[in-house]
Amino acid sequence: GGDQTAQSIFKRAGKMFAMGLANVVNIFDPALIILSGERMQFDYLYAGEVIENMKNSVVQIDVSPPRVLIHKWGDLMWAKGAAVYAMEGVTQLALEELAKNAR
């Protein structure tokens, strides 16, 4: 079911994404691809058909295509990143103060 126009758009986006992934594999030959970020909430970008299209577009010379893992970032991931960034800044300031007082 669903709107045919919307399905067509998603299918085309999936094909273009598969071609882009295949280009990355052909240029850099990674052993693993990790897809992450906000757009990974849309499963049409990493559906089995997309991954198969990528594998079929990769130039293979005695090497298996890379594994593709999906990491869906949630709000908690962003909060943890912000907290780590803040802690890094505080630590840097403390180290600079210690170095200044040690002179």
The CA distance from 77 to 38, in Å, is: 11
Distance CA 24, CA 58 (A): 9
Interval 27-62: pLDDT, tens: 999 999 988 877 676 666 667 888 899 999 999 888
What single DSSP character describes residue 31?
S
Residue 1: the pLDDT is: 58
Look at residue 11 in the predicted model and tell me its pLDDT: 87
Convert the pLDDT of each residue in 58-90 to its tens digit: 998 888 889 998 877 777 877 888 899 999 999
H-run or E-run covering 26:
helix 4-28
pLDDT at 52: 92
Average pLDDT of the residues in 1-25: 89
Query: How many Å apart are CA 84 and CA 54, to the nearest integer?
Result: 35
Considering just the CA atoms, what is the radius of gyration of the chain in Å?
A: 21
